[in-house]
Amino acid sequence: MILAITFLFCIFLGRFLYIQLIWEDDLHYLALDQWTREIPVNAGRGAILDVNGTLLAGNRAGYGVYARANAVDDAEGAAALLSDLLASPYDALLEKLSDRSKSEIVLARRTTKEVVQSLAEHELKGIYYARNDERVYPYGALACQVIGFTAYDRNGTTGVEGYYNSYLAGENGEILFETDLVGVDLEGASAAYIPAADGLNVRLTLDYRIQACAEAVMARVLAETSAKAARAIVLDPNDFSILAMVNLPSYDLNEIPRDDLSVLNALTRNALVSDIYEPGSTFKIVTAAADIEEYYQGHRALDPKTYVFSSARTRVVDGTTIRCWSDHKNGKHANETLAEALNNSCNPCFVDIALTLGKQTFYDYLAKFRFGRATGVDFSGEAIGMLLPESALRDCDFARIGFGQSIAVTPLQLACAAASAVNGGNYYAPRIVSEIFSSDGSVREKMPVSLVGKTVSERTSALLSEMLEGVVRDGSGKKAFIEGYRVAGKTGTAQKYENGAIAQGKYVSSFLGYFPANAPRYLALVIVDEPQGSYYGSTVAAPCAKEIFEGIIDIMNIPEVAV
């Protein structure tokens, strides 16, 4: 009996201590919620600015109107007045104001300052209003998939608005009024004010001038070629700061198509980060970099300067014939060096490189260039691409990877890999945001430049850039050439596949270029999906890159150099 009583006493004592010490805050909150009613004090959402401080997402003053039905003493009169002020049906308002099962009712999510001032003059019991700013985007559709948008509750859902919502949103406050158990205000009771903490501002690495230039160029090619989509990414090869991201078709951030989810999902998707494709010949930059680096390391590789590839127009691997897209000289497929193979975009030559390096070595380079894994960009929904397992790889598939087939990448992956190949071999985590700062200008958090790893040596980068500059000067990339500027790059034309077979007449035209070739500052990847008529990267995408580079030259006032 004594043991049983002692045991029960310990249980009661433990429960008492739990209620008094551990459960105290929760119980206090529940009690407070029973005898108070809250008026929300919404935090101001932080702004989104470009790298120069240009406002890309801000706020416009707005107000919400709410009611506590239990505190309304004249539902009919209040409904009649509110119907005029809010331009809402009287019957619907009366139904809401008569519903005493809810503690708080939303009467209008957005209304004007004039309406609120008129409402305040009538001092309706149980009716109150709160600041509820409306998100506005001064440039409409500019960088819409990057910036993203907010939901009705003002929380970010996509893009930077969503990824950095914890910084932008701030913390809402409230005004607490003492009431009885049914929600009627107590006369003479005092109100408690809990202030809101406004959100922080986000500064992007994007330059709206470069973004606007790139969007104008891609909009033109989209219209002229009747393409399915047109995309471009511009980044700084020195730290992988993203200067522009273009996804067309686009939409106006101030007129979000919320009523059609399929359209909304299609238009708001940042395909440069989230979608994959076969890169085609632009991938040859990676294959060439691997060959040059292995040769300089004294390993098994083809001499990038002196080795002459066979003039045979085809290679047969595992019974599969791989052909060059055309003849290069006087109607014949000539012998050529690596530089000439890049100029002519010759597939068989890059098959030879891949097979010479071998699967293990080549896959080691694919890992260094972060294919098959995330780049680490500060953006939601990044795809990792599609890379066949080395153990299950057939020789014919491996041979195709050498020239950009049988592998799928995101445009961002390819741009970062190429940037690393030509910047001295430094692979950084790409970034869209540079810093977080408060309204007084003080920086709360700076997003550091993050070096992820080394891919190739500076010596390899220098030789590769020399060859890629030749592609623009003498080869398939001639339409990206700019007099007085050292532009380098590589064209790409890839067939599309549907249900495991080649889709006839469907191509992806692309160009990956940068300048200056000897010290890269701006790198651009241009992709035109399913252009009609001419579909070669050399004729469709390369001129777009040239226009974007010329726009950057004007914007940044970059002088000519002696070439």
Q: Please name each of the domains of the chain with its CATH number.
A: 35-70+104-203 (3.90.1310.10), 208-434+447-556 (3.40.710.10)
Q: How far apart are CA 172 and CA 32, in angstroms?
A: 18
Q: How far apart are CA 239 and CA 431, in angstroms?
A: 9
Q: How far apart are CA 94 and CA 76, in angstroms?
A: 6
Contact 132, 63 (CB under 8 A): yes
Instruction: For residue 50, give the DSSP letter.
Output: -
Contact 450, 429 (CB under 8 A): yes
The structure tokens listed for 79 are 């409904």
CA distances from 369 to 289, 427, 552 (A): 10, 8, 27
Residues comprising the chain, all counted: 563
Among 296, 541, 278, 292, residue whose Cα is nearest residue 421: 292
In a structure prediction context, what are the per-residue pLDDT tens digits for the chain, which is 563 residues long? 999 888 888 888 888 887 787 777 776 656 655 555 666 777 889 999 999 999 999 998 888 888 877 777 788 888 888 888 888 888 888 888 887 777 678 888 778 888 888 888 887 887 777 777 889 999 999 999 999 999 988 899 999 999 999 999 988 887 666 665 555 555 655 666 678 889 999 999 999 999 999 999 999 999 999 999 999 999 999 999 999 999 999 999 999 998 888 899 999 999 999 999 999 999 999 999 999 999 999 999 999 999 999 888 899 999 999 988 776 666 677 789 999 999 999 999 999 999 999 999 999 999 999 999 999 999 999 999 999 999 889 999 999 999 999 999 999 999 999 999 999 999 999 999 999 999 999 999 999 999 999 999 999 999 999 999 999 999 999 999 999 999 999 999 998 887 777 788 899 999 999 999 999 999 999 999 999 999 999 999 999 999 999 999 999 999 998 65
The pTM for the full model equals 0.87
Q: How far apart are CA 102 and CA 291, in angstroms?
A: 70
Instruction: For residue 235, give the DSSP letter.
Output: E
Label residue 41 exposed, middle or buried (CB < 10 Å: 0-12, 13-18, 19+): middle
Instruction: For residue 434, give the DSSP letter.
Output: E
- Sequence-ordered list of residues with C-beta below 8 angstroms from that of 543, at least 6 positions apart, any chain: 479, 480
Amino acid identity, residue 471? V
Label residue 221 exposed, middle or buried (CB < 10 Å: 0-12, 13-18, 19+): buried
**Token pair 């020789």 in the structure block, residue:** 395
The structure tokens listed for 136 are 């506005």
Contact 242, 206 (CB under 8 A): yes
Where on the phi/psi map is residue 499: left (φ > 0), alpha (ψ -120 to 50), or beta? left
Using DSSP, state whether 169 is helix, strand or coil.
coil
Using DSSP, state whether 475 is helix, strand or coil.
coil
Q: How far apart are CA 418 and CA 512, in angstroms?
A: 8
Q: How far apart are CA 16 and CA 22, in angstroms?
A: 10
